[in-house]
Each structure stands twice: as structure tokens, then as C-alpha cells.
A and B are shown apart, each in its own frame.
Chain A
Amino acid sequence: MFNEKTIEEVKSANRKASSDATSTAFYNNPRIRGLFYQVALVAGLLYFFVTVIGNTLDNMEATGIKTGFAFLDAAAGYDVLMSLISFESTDTYARIFVVGFLNTILVSVIGIFFATLFGFIFGVAYFSHNWLIRKLAVVYVEIFRNIPLLLQVFFWYFAVLSSLPSARQSLSLGEAVFLNVRGLYFPKLVGGDLAWVVWTVLALAIGGVFYLRRWAKKRQEITGEQFPVLKASLALIIFAPLMAAALTGFPFTVDYPALKGFNYFGGVTVIPELMALSIALSVYTGAFIAEAVRAGIQSIPRGQTEAARSLGLRENKIMSLIIVPQAMRVIVPLLNSEYQSLVKNSTLAAAIGYPDLFNVFVGTALNQTGQAIETIFMTIIVYFIVNMVISFLMNRFNSAVSLVSR
């Protein structure tokens, strides 16, 4: 039986206890502690930045360096080894920035393409039926993953490419492609008046391939009939522009590289620095990608392969239709970080003198102007942006391949 008085007593005792709990020493209150830590951190950071900025301004004054980006409009006064846009030594630092940026993008794109190619070839080779090929994949990954990239760049540049024959003894392929110590030369198509017709047809053909793939997929979903998409696409891409070229009377001339004096001129030249850097980046990153591909494929249960076999699919069809599409869910996030580190590693261009952004800007421009903070931060921001773009694209791709749960 409850007594009114007892209940009141209990209630008041409870109230007292809870007021005791809130009146523990204020420095033991987690919220106040949290606030204190954060204020301390803010104060520490503020002090740090104020000191650093003050010191920097003092130091710069002492050495007579003007802060700011005015140096971008000054003439650079030096030439770069290779440029995708026209460049002369009278051009500004701003233009050198663009030249370097384009060179970085060039080597990154080449590197990403070949690293992906090597990575997928060797990653799939892990599961080959041939013991030798399986071991080859293991050897490739374990060797190239465990040797510093800089050593590999140097190896290709100083030990392999520099022992190629001189221009007069060039290695040649059908008298059109030449390889010597000065670089790789191959012929270039120079478009005439009507060349735009052919390019337009080519662009239309590529667009047509996408349309064809969509149509074929839809048709297969409705009727179950397969359409030879790959053969049809190849035919479209090769024959449509060829037809256009034939109809317009082949409006192209081929510019072959030719030996004049001590060197080859004409055509497209790939300088050895670009070759060494791209080879090293693709081989090194390819080893990591191969590891990612292997991990992805191993994450697929064996039952998938067995089920596919019992349906009567052939081995290569099992790989391309069943295993790899599922493995992509594991592979793509890993690819994302590998691509980003490839772009960051392309700064090793500075070691062999390939004029990438880092080399021409943080290397040479910094040296000439002394604008350490501006040049380094401009460069860092570019790498951040490039990596964010890669991350964005790969995340889009990832959501396309990721498991759609119904």
C-alpha cells in the first residue's frame, strides 16, 4: 500500500540526487570540457598562424621578395623542352603554367591508360589456366610494386632509353616509325581542305556506337537475341570514315619523319623524358592495379564461375560477362586511389626534366622568381583539383557498376 508521504519523500530524494549529479564540478562536465579543448585548439592554431605569417612577411621583406601574383605577367625568359601549345621564352609565367599543366595532363592520361591496360591484363592473368602465365603475373606484381618509382624512372631513362642507337642507326618499323636515343618518331596525318568531313563522320560513328549498344541491349532484353556489337562497332568506326575519305578524295597527306642531318624531323616526336616517365608510371601503377583486379576477382564466390560453367558459357565469356562486371564493385574504388596517386607521382618528371607543371613551375619558376609560397600553392591546388575531378568521375562510374539492389 502506498503512502502519500512516502511517495513525496522518494520524489524529493530523486530530485536531490539529480541536482547533485548536475552540480558535479564544472570541469568534469563533458560539454564544458569539449568547449575548453576546442577553444584551446583554436587559440593554438591562431597563435601558430599569426607567428608563421608574421615570420614569413619579415623574412620576405629581408630578402626583398614581393608577395603577390604580379610575377605571372612577367616574361619567363626560358624555354621548355616540350609544349603542346606554342611557347617562346618571351612568353609569361602564366603561359608556362598552362604549358606545364597540359604536359601533366598528357603524361597522366597516357599513364592511366597503360596502367589500366597492364593492370587488367596481369590481374586476369593471375587466374590463367597456364601455370607459367600465373607465375608471370605474380613476378610482375611483386617486382614492380616493391621498387621505388624514382628508381624505375631512372632505370628506363638512364639505363634503357639512353642505350638506344643514335639517330643514324635508328630502329625503324616499316620506314615510318623510328626509335632512337633522341625519342620516338611516328608519322602524322595532316588534314587538307575537306578533312573536316572525315572527322565529322568519325565523330558521328563514335556516337552511333553508343546508340547501337543501347539498341542492342534493349533488343536483347526484349527478344533474347544477341547482336554482335563489338564487330559492328569496329566496322562502323573503321569503314565509315574510310568511305568518307574515299568520297572526298582522301584529303590527307602523311607527314613522315625523315632524317635530316643528325636528327629526324617531321611527324610526331615523343621525347625520351615523356617515354621514360610514362613507361615507369604505367608499369608501377599497373602492378598495383593488377593487385586490385586480383582482389576484386577473388572476392567473387566460386559458385558464380561454376554456375556460369553449368550454363555452358565458355571461359572467356565467363570472365567478361559474369566475373569482371561483379568484380568491378571492388576494383573501381581501388582504381580511384591508384589513378590519384599516379597523377601525384607524375611530379617525378622533375627528376629527369620532363616539363610537367611541377617541374616548370615549382622547379624553374620558383628558382627564378623566389615566389615560393605562390608557386607551391598554385601547383598544389591544381593537383587537388585534378584529383577531385578523377574522384568525381570514378564515383560516377562506381555508382554505375555498383550492385543495384531491388
Chain B
Amino acid sequence: MKEFQPSSPRSAPVKSVGLIAWLRDNLFSSIPNAVVTIAFISFLAYYIPLLIDWAFLSANFKGETEAACVNDGACWVFVNAWSYQFFYGTYPPEEVWRINLTIVLLILVIIGSFTLPKSIRLKTSIAAWLLLPVVGIALLDGRLLGLEMVSTDLWGGFSLNVFMATASIVVAFPFSFLWALGRRSDMPFIRSVSVTFIEFFRGVPVLSLFFMGSVMLPLFFAEGTNVDKLIRVWLVLIFFMSGYMAEVFRGGVQAVPKGQYEAADSIGLGYWQKIMLIILPQVIKISMPNILATFVMLFKNTTFLLIIGIPEVVQTLQTALSNSYWLGGHALEGYLFVFLVFWGSCFGMSLLASRIERTMNTDKRD
């Protein structure tokens, strides 16, 4: 009996698979496309070597002073010489371990709130987050812990940006949740107060809030009280942040299915039990990507503190650029460095946000 012999499969047409097909599809699909591709590649081929040459090959890495910049490339010596100030401001170098310790604590809390066993995660991490600003301020200031006091005038640099943003969002967190609940409340007065608050702080330029913090708030305190400028700005940032986060939470509260509320009611939970045990955990989970996005916005906005004279990283950079020992015009190197630091942190956080969003999507199995 004759056995059926399938003829061997033909290979796919060369024009639809492989590198050449990819090139045809993505770079040379039509004549205008090919022209664009060639122009683009020649542009890159011309400028990238120049850039690499400037940034690495003929750049200056070693040295301490302006005089060390002998090559025509970038003068990274400038960034190097000022790196302490960029990160820590004018904080006394012998006390700098406190800033480092605070940052380590911050990192530990972040890691903890993702990796602790699920049974204790929420309670422990909420408590840790709320304690963090208090511990951080006690450490950095030092008086409470019996360390040498470091006046807030000396705080500065990139670490100040990180601290201001973190401390504000942490304190704003509970407030903003209250505002979000207030906005959805049935009680007309509470609702209108919440709406006014949220819309005011969302509608006003953040710079005018900083000015309020620096020139208007002192008028509000009783005569003779002198509240530190950094604390006033912190207060203002907390208000600003709670306005924005309230809207994030409102979205989250609305996204929790109605059945969850009804189920909580039907097993006889009171309002606060229902909110704290059933709604809040789900809201935090749903809103996580948006909270991160809001945090990125806040973090970028901390640079605006420069305008009211707080020595955060951009202010430090401006000071360094106008330093009389460094008048070689290193604006490009300085800005690139601060760009990279900010871009790295913000881009990292937005990647994290989209990752959380994706992991959240997978457990929606119903």
C-alpha cells in the first residue's frame, strides 16, 4: 500500500519574515519612509559620535578645580567637585550619616510595604509610613534625640527634594482620604467644604501656594510665634498634595463595586469599620498607579522651592554655576547631571506605576 507522504513545508516567503522583512516593513515601506529613515540615520550618525566624544572621550574626569579641565570635552570635574552639595546641600559633613540613615529608613519602609507577609503588611506599613516623617525630622534636626542641632537653613540639595516630597505625601495621605470621603458624603455642608478645599488647592498655581507659605502664613500665626520657613512650606505642600490626592482617592472610592459597600452594611459593620476594613484596602490598591503619578508630579514641583529661596538641588546648581572659582561655563554639564538624576527617579517611578497596573490587571479573573 502506498503510504501518504506529505511534501515538506515550504519556508515562508523571504519578504515576510526575518531581518530584511522587518527592515522593509518598519524602515523602508515606501519611498518617503525610506527618505526619512536615511535622513534620520545620517543625522544620528553625525551627532552621536560628537556627543560621545564630548561626554566621554575628550571629557575631564579627574581633578578638583577648574584648572583640571584641560580637554575640550565636558568638564565632569565640576559635577564631581560639587556632588556633595548637590545631594546634601550645606549639611555639616560630619553629620551627614543622619541624612543617609533617613534615606535607608525610607528605602526599608518602601521595601517593607511590598514584601512583608500579607497578614501584617497593611497595618505595619501604614504605621511605618506615618512614623517616618517624625523619625526623619527628629534625626535631621537632632534636638529631640540629643544630637547636635542642624538648623533647617543648612538642609538642602537633592535629599531635601526627596524629603519634602515624601514627608508631604505621607502626611497628606490620611487627610486626602478624608477629603475624598467628604466629597462623597451625604451631608451637604461637609460636602461643600470638601469640594471648596479640593478645588481651591487644585486650581491655584503651586508657586502662589509657596508664596503663601513664605509670606502670608506668618501673618496667620499669633504674634510672636515664629514657625520655621521649611515647616510652613511643608504645611502648604501637604495642603496642595491633599487636594490632588483627594481626587485620586475619589476615583478609587468610586471604582470599588457597590456590592462591597452593601455586603459590608449587611454584615452589620459601622461606617468607619466599613471604610477602614473593606473600602480603604481596595482603594489603595486600585489607586496605586495614580498615587505614584501624583507623587512624581509633586517631586518635580519641589524644584519650584527655589523661587522662595530654599536651597534645593536646582538652587544649589545655580549657586555652583555662579561660584567665582568655576566660571568656565559648565551650565551644560550641571544641567545634564541634574536632568539625569531627576529623569532617573521619575522614569523609574512611572515604570513602577505601569508595572503595578499590569500586575493588578492579572488578578481580575472574574
Contact A383 to B203, CB < 8 A, known contacts A52-B220, A55-B220: yes
Q: What residues of chain B lie closer than 8 Å to A150, measured between beta carbons?
A: 303-304, 306, 314
In the complex, A270 has a CB within 8 A of chain B:
no
Q: Mark B108-124, 1 if CB is under 8 A from A, else 0.
A: 00000000000000000
Closest to B220 in A: A52
Q: Would you give the 0/1 interface string for B340-354, flagging 1 where the beta carbon is closer than 8 Å to chain A?
A: 001100110010000
State whether B303 touches A34 (Cβ < 8 A): no
Interchain CB contact (< 8 A) of A38 among B187, B222, B300, B329: B187
Is the C-beta of B137 less than 8 angstroms from some C-beta in chain A?
no
Q: A283 to B234: give the CA distance in the assembly, Å.
A: 29
The segment from B26-34, B64-72, B252-260, B273-281 that touches chain A is B26-34
B59 within 8 A of A: no
| Cα of A130 to Cα of B33 in the assembled complex, Å | 6
Q: Are A55 and B208 in contact (CB-based, < 8 A)?
A: no
CA distance A369 to B26 in the complex (A): 63
- Which A residues are in CB contact (< 8 Å) with B342? 146-148, 151
Interface centre among B219, B318, B338 (most CB of A within 10 A): B219
Find out whether the CB atom of A373 lies under 8 angstroms from the CB atom of B216: yes
In the complex, which residue of chain A has the Cβ closest to the Cβ of B206? A344
Closest to A158 in B: B331
A150 to B186, CA, bound (A): 41
Q: How many residues of chain A are within 8 Å of chain B by beta carbon?
A: 52
Identify B205's interface contact among A132, A146, A351, A383, CB under 8 A.
Answer: A383
A383 with B208, Cβ < 8 A, contacts A45-B193, A56-B220 known: yes
Q: How far is the CB of A375 from chain B (nearest CB, A)?
A: 9
Of the 9-residue stretches A58-66, A172-180, A199-207, A273-281, which lies at the interface with chain B? A58-66
Task: State whether the Cβ of B149 lies closer than 8 Å to any Cβ in chain A.
Answer: no
The reply on A376 being an interface residue by CB < 8 A is: yes
| Chain A 103-118 near chain B by CB (<8 Å), digits 1 or 0 | 0000000000000000
- A143 lies within 8 A of chain B by Cβ: yes
Say if the beta carbon of A347 comes within 8 Å of chain B: yes
B56 in the interface (beta carbon within 8 A):
no
Residues of A within 8 A of B218 (CB): 59
Q: From DSSP, what is the main secondary structure of chain B's interface residues?
A: helix
Q: Is B207 positioned at the interface, with any CB of A under 8 Å from its CB?
A: yes
The proximity string for A residues 21-38 relative to B, scoring 1 for CB distances below 8 Å and 0 otherwise, is 000000000000010011
In Å, the complex CA distance between A42 and B40 comes to 64
**Closest CB of chain A to B243's CB: distance in Å?**
13
Report how far A384 CA is from B25 CA in the complex, Å.
Answer: 49
What are the residues of chain A within 8 A of B303 when measuring CB–CB? 148, 150-151
- Name A129's contact: one of B26, B216, B220, B306 (CB within 8 Å): B26
Does any Cβ of B come within 8 Å of A142's Cβ? yes
Render A326-357 as a binary contact track against B, CB cut-off 8 A, 1 for contact: 00000000000000000011011011000000
Q: Which residues of chain A (96-155) have a CB below 8 Å from chain B?
A: 129-133, 136, 142-143, 145-151, 154-155
Q: Mark B4-33, 1 if CB is under 8 A from A, else 0.
A: 000000000000000000000111011001
**Given contact pairs A45-B193, A52-B220, A151-B314, A158 touches B206 in the complex (Cβ within 8 A):** no
- Does A170 belong to the interface (CB within 8 Å)? no
B212 within 8 Å of A by Cβ? Answer: yes
Q: Does A362 have its Cβ within 8 Å of any Cβ on chain B?
A: yes
B208 touches which one: A133, A347, A387 (CB < 8 A)? A347
A-B contact pairs, 19 of them (CB 8 A): A34-B187, A37-B187, A37-B190, A41-B189, A41-B193, A55-B223, A59-B218, A59-B223, A129-B33, A130-B37, A132-B37, A146-B300, A147-B343, A148-B301, A150-B304, A151-B314, A358-B207, A372-B216, A376-B211
Interface pairs A-B: 5 shortest CB-CB:
A131-B26, A146-B346, A148-B300, A344-B205, A159-B331
Give residues in B with beta carbon < 8 Å to A.
25-27, 29-30, 33, 36-37, 40-41, 186-190, 193, 203-208, 211-212, 215-216, 218-223, 296, 300-301, 303-304, 306-307, 314, 318, 321, 329, 331-332, 335, 338-339, 342-343, 346-347, 350
Beyond the given A373-B216, A373-B219, please list 19 additional residue pairs across the A-B interface where CB-CB is below 8 A: A34-B186, A38-B190, A52-B220, A59-B221, A129-B30, A132-B27, A133-B36, A142-B347, A146-B300, A148-B301, A151-B339, A159-B331, A351-B306, A358-B208, A366-B211, A376-B212, A376-B216, A383-B203, A383-B205
Residues on A facing B (Cβ under 8 Å): 34, 37-38, 41-42, 45, 51-52, 55-56, 58-60, 62, 129-133, 136, 142-143, 145-151, 154-155, 158-159, 162-163, 344-345, 347-348, 350-351, 358, 362, 366, 372-373, 376, 379-380, 383-384, 387
